[in-house]
Structure 1
Amino acid sequence: MMTSTTDLIRKYDVAVPRYTSYPTVPLWENNVGELTWKRTVQKAYRNFGNYEGINLYLHLPYCESLCTYCGCNKRITKNHDTEKPYIQAIIKEWEHYLKVLPEKPKIAGIHLGGGTPTFFSPENLFEMLNYIIHSAEVLPEAEMSFEGHPNNTTFEHLVTLRLLGFNRVSYGIQDFDENVQKAIHRVQPFETVKKATDNARLVGYEAINFDLIYGLPHQTVDSIKSTFKQVASLQPERIAFYSYAHVPSVFPAQKSFEQYLPQKEGKRILYEAGKILLQEMGYEEIGMDHFALKEDPLLQAKIAGKLHRNFMGYTTQASKMLIGLGSSAISDIYYAYAQNTKDIELYKEQLALDHFPLSKGHLMSIEDIKTRKTILELICNGRTKLVDTIWDMKTIHQMSEMQNDGLLTLTNGTIKVTDMGMAFIRNICAIFDHRMKNQEAKKFVFSKAI
C-alpha cells in the first residue's frame, strides 16, 4: 500500500473532469438539434417533471469588475442599461419552454447564478422572476436560491427575493486575507460580508452558504486559519471549499498571479488544514468539496443515502429535470444535455428569431446513463455496486491499484471510497469514464485533480 500522502498527490495530481455532469461538456457528441431537444424535453417532463417538478437555473452573466481567478462565463461592464434587454430575453426563452411543455410546469427549485446576479436591480429581478413564478406552479418544498456578491447584495435585493420565495443565499467569499483578495481582484472586507450575512438572516433566509477556495495565490496555512476563524464567527449553514482550477490557456487573467500559487503538496496541505478546521467548527464533509452543519438537510440526505447532485451542486431533491435559461446556461433533462450559446448578442438574436439559443448538446446513450449513475453514487454517497458499473480489464486494474493505495475498498461486490479516497474522488470517477478512455479526450483542457 502507498502510505505517503506526498506520493499519492504526485501520482494522482493529473488533469481530470470535475464531474458536474457526465459526460463532461467537452466530450459531448453535439447531436441535439432544436426539434430533437423539444421532443426530449416533452418526454422528460411526461416521465419525471410532471410529478418531481423541474429545477430552473438562470444565468445572469454581468459583473462590474473581473475577478481574475474566475472560470465562469461573464461580461464585464458598468453599463446597467444591459439589464432590461437581457431580462426580456430570458423571459422570451422561458416562453419557448412554456410552448413545448405539455402542461403548466411544476417548479421544484430556482437558482440564480452568474456572473453576478445582484448586478441586476431588485426591480429587474422581480420582473423576471415574478413572470416565471406566475406562469408555473411552484411546489411547496421548492428550494429557491441565489448567488450574491457581498459587495453589492443590498437589503432591497434580499427583501425582494425573499418575498418571491427565495430561502437560500450563497455568498462568494473565496478568502478573507487582504493579499489574496488583491491578487484575485476581489476585495470585500469582513465587515461587508458580515453585513450581507446579518441582513439575510434578518430578512428570514433559512440557509446561508459560503463559497471558499483553496490553492489561491499567497494562501498559507496561517491565512487559511485566519479566514476560517472569521467564517466561524458568522457560522453559515453550508460551506463549499473548492479547489482553485488553474487553466490560464482558457482564462488568461489567471496568468497575472501564476507565480504566487501554492503547488501540489502545498495546495493539498491547505485543503487538509481547512478540512480539520471545518470539522472543529462542527461541519461534516458531504460528497465532493462540500460541508454542512449537523442539522442541515444535506447532511441528513447523505446519511440516508438520498443525496443528489446536478449542475447547481448538491441537493436533497430527486428532480431529474434542470432547465437552464440565459447565455451559456446548461440544461440537464436526464435523457440529454444542452448548452445555450455563450455570446450574449447571439443569444438574444436567436431568441428574436424564435429559436432555442442552443450551441451544443448531447443525447445520452444507455451506457452514458449507467455510467452517470455510477459516478453520481460515488460523489454523492461514496459507494456503488460493481454489478451496476461498466468496466473492462483496464478498469479492474485501476481499481485494484487504487485499493492498494488505500483510496477505495471492494467488498462483497460494493465499491466504497475511503476517507483518504475522498480527496481523490475525481480520479476514482475517471476510471469508470469510458469516454475519457478515448484518446481524443486528451486534447481537452481539464484542471488538475488536487
Structure 2
Amino acid sequence: MTQPTIRIDFDRELIASLPASGPRYTSYPTADRFHTDFQAADLTAAIRQHDNQQPLSLYIHIPFCNTICYYCGCNKIITKDKSRADEYLNYLDKELTLLAQNWQGKPKLAQLHFGGGTPTFLSDEQLARVFDSIYRHFTLTDEGEYSIEIDPRKVSRDTVLFLGQLGFNRMSVGIQDFNPEVQKAVNRIQSEAETREVIDAAREAGFKSVSVDLIYGLPHQSIDTMRDTLEKVLSLLPDRLAVYHYAHLPHIFPPQRRIDINTVPDSSTKLDILQNTVNILLQQGYIFIGMDHFAKPDDELAVALAEGRLQRNFQGYSTHADCDLVAIGVSSIGKIGRVYSQNQKDIEAYYADLNADRLPVLRGYTLNDDDVLRRSIIQDLMCRFSLHFDDYKNRIDQDFADYFAAEYKDLAQLSAKGLMTLSDTGLEVSPKGRFLIRNIAMVFDAHLRNRETKAKYSQTV
C-alpha cells in the first residue's frame, strides 16, 4: 500500500504575512452565509430528491454537559439533571421520524456521528434509546463509520464496551492538555489514567480508530508543558490527532471571560508550541492529513489521502465518498444535495417547532451552479493539495483562468510567496503552503471576496 509522502515547511515569516483568520471550510459556502428565508419546505424538497439507492450520513447533536470548560465555543447546556436528556431524546426521535417521511425504506447509513456538548452525558439506557430510533429508520452496515465524542471524565470502561455493542466503531477523545495548571485554568481536570482506561477499553471493544483532540494557546501553556502533554498522549498510541488553535473570543463565548488573558501565551509562543508539536508528530511517523489533523500511516485517513479519496464535511476529514448528511438535534447542520440546513439554536424554539409538527429549521442555503463549482475546487484543495484545471473544463464554458481571472491573479501572488507551483494546467501546493491551505482555499471563496460578513473566523494557523 502506497503511503503519502507529505512534507511540511513551517515558514513563520510567510505565516505572519498572510491573513491570520479564515473559514475552516467544513462547508462552502460557510455557515455565516445561511439565511432565514430558507424554510423547512426547502429541506424536505431536497430530501425527496435524494437517490434512495445512495447511503446517508447522520449527525446527532447532544448539547448537555455536566460542567463547563472555559475555552469551549460549542452549543451546550450545563446541567447534571439527566431527566432533561430524556425529554430531549423524545424530540430527537420525533425529528427523525418527520425527516424519514421524506425517504423510502431504510437507507444504508454510511456515517454516524454523535457530537456535543458531551454525548456521553447520556446514560447507557438513553444511548440505547437513540440507537433504537436509528435502527427504525436506517440500515447499519459493517463498513459504516460510526463515531462518538468522548469525555473520559464521565465514562467508565463498561460504558465504552457498551458503546461498541451498540455499533460505534470510532471514537474521538477530548484531552486538550494534561498539565494540571492548564487544566485548572480552563476548568477541565482530567487524569492520564482515566483517559488511558477509556482508550484501552475502546481497543478491547474493537473500535477501528481512536482520535484525540489537543488545543494549543491555552492559559499557562509553553513549549515544555505541551511537550510533556504530547509525550503522554503519544504513549496512548492514538490513531489520529487533531491539534486545534484556541481562539480567545470572550465577547462571543462568555465562559471564556473566566480565563485570565494575561496567562494566555502570545502569538510568537503559540507558533513555537505549534511548530514543536508538528515536528514531534512527524518525527513519530504521523502523516499530516491537512490543516490540524494527523494520522498513523496505516490509518484510514492516511490511506484515503494517499489514494485521493479523502473528503471533508461538517465533522472534518472523512474517508467516505461525499454523501448527503441528515442532521438532528438543536443547532445541528446537514447537507442534502445543493442544500444546507441548520436547526434552531435555542432549545425551546427547537421544542416549539417539533410540538407543532414542524421540522426545526432556523436557516439554510441553496447552492447555485457557481457555488457547487467552487465547493468542488475547495474540496480538492483541502483534501488533495492540488488542482487540475481540466477536471473542471466540462463545468464551465471558458478557460479556467478566464472564469477565475481575479482568483488567478491572487494565486499568482501566493505562488510568488512560495505557497504553490502555478501553471497553465493546474496548481500544486508546496510544503510551505500545506499548513496554509485555508489561505489558498479562501481565494476561491466568492462570498468572502464579494460580500462582507460579521463572522469571526478562527486563525488559519
**Normalising TM by the smaller chain, what interval?**
over 0.9
Q: For the residues of structure 2 that align with 1:411 and 1:263, how far apart are their CA atoms? A: 38
* Cα root mean square deviation, aligned: 1.8
Q: Counterparts of 1:412-427 in structure 2 under 5 Å? A: 412-427=424-439
Give TM-score scaled by structure 2 length.
Answer: 0.92
Answer yes or no: is 1:359 the counterpart of 2:357: no
Structure 1 range deviating more: 155-164 or 183-192? 155-164
Question: Could you tell me whether the CA contact under 8 Å between 2:161 and 2:201 is conserved in 1?
Answer: no
Q: Which residue of 1 aligns with 2:31?
A: 25
Answer yes or no: is 1:57 the counterpart of 2:68: no
Structure 1 range deviating more: 12-21 or 185-194? 12-21
Distance 1:373 1:69, change over 3 A: same
Q: Which residue of 1 aligns with 2:136?
A: 134
Q: For the residues of structure 2 that align with 1:131 and 1:184, how far apart are their CA atoms? A: 36
1:244 to partner: Cα distance: 1.9
Question: Could you tell me whether the CA contact under 8 Å between 2:146 and 2:168 is conserved in 1?
Answer: yes
Q: Which residue of 2 aligns with 1:40?
A: 46
1:258 to partner: Cα distance: 2.3
Give TM-score scaled by structure 1 length.
Answer: 0.94
Q: For the residues of structure 2 that align with 1:365 and 1:177, how far apart are their CA atoms? A: 48
SS of equivalent to 2:260: helix
- Amino acid paired to 1:59: H
Q: Counterparts of 1:254-403 in structure 2 under 5 Å? A: 254-255=256-257, 256-386=259-389, 388=392, 392-403=404-415
Q: For the residues of structure 2 that align with 1:277 and 1:409, how far apart are their CA atoms? A: 27
Percent same amino acid at aligned positions? Answer: 36
Answer yes or no: is 1:234 the counterpart of 2:236: yes
Question: Could you tell me whether the CA contact under 8 Å between 1:108 and 1:319 is conserved in 2?
Answer: no
Question: Could you tell me whether the CA contact under 8 Å between 2:164 and 2:202 is conserved in 1?
Answer: no
Q: Which residue of 1 aligns with 2:74?
A: 72
Question: Could you tell me whether the CA contact under 8 Å between 2:46 and 2:337 is conserved in 1?
Answer: no
Question: Could you tell me whether the CA contact under 8 Å between 1:10 and 1:264 is conserved in 2?
Answer: no
Q: Which residue of 2 aligns with 1:199?
A: 201
Q: For the residues of structure 2 that align with 1:364 and 1:430, how far apart are their CA atoms? A: 17
Q: Which residue of 1 aligns with 2:455?
A: 444
Q: CA offsets, 1:18-74, max 9 Å, x none?
A: 11111111112444212221111111x22xxx3331110000000011111111100
- Amino acid paired to 2:413: E
Q: For the residues of structure 2 that align with 1:246 and 1:133, how far apart are their CA atoms? A: 41
SS of equivalent to 1:409: strand
Structure 1 range deviating more: 333-342 or 258-267? 258-267
Answer yes or no: is 1:123 the counterpart of 2:135: no
Structure 2 unaligned regions, length at least 5: 1-8, 393-399
Q: For the residues of structure 2 that align with 1:111 and 1:177, how far apart are their CA atoms? A: 29
Structure 1 range deviating more: 408-417 or 147-156? 408-417
Question: Could you tell me whether the CA contact under 8 Å between 2:56 and 2:324 is conserved in 1?
Answer: yes
Structure 1 range deviating more: 314-323 or 356-365? 314-323
Q: For the residues of structure 1 that align with 2:145 and 2:405, how far apart are their CA atoms? A: 43
Q: For the residues of structure 1 that align with 2:183 and 2:232, how far apart are their CA atoms? A: 15
Q: Which residue of 2 aligns with 1:430?
A: 442
1:106 to partner: Cα distance: 1.8
Question: Could you tell me whether the CA contact under 8 Å between 1:246 and 1:447 is conserved in 2?
Answer: no
Size of the aligned set, in residue pairs, is 443
1:392 to partner: Cα distance: 4.1
Q: Which residue of 2 aligns with 1:218?
A: 220
Q: CA offsets, 1:352-382, max 9 Å, x none?
A: 1110001010001111111111111111111
Q: Counterparts of 1:244-259 in structure 2 under 5 Å? A: 244-255=246-257, 256-259=259-262
Question: Could you tell me whether the CA contact under 8 Å between 2:106 and 2:137 is conserved in 1?
Answer: yes
Q: For the residues of structure 2 that align with 1:273 and 1:371, how far apart are their CA atoms? A: 34
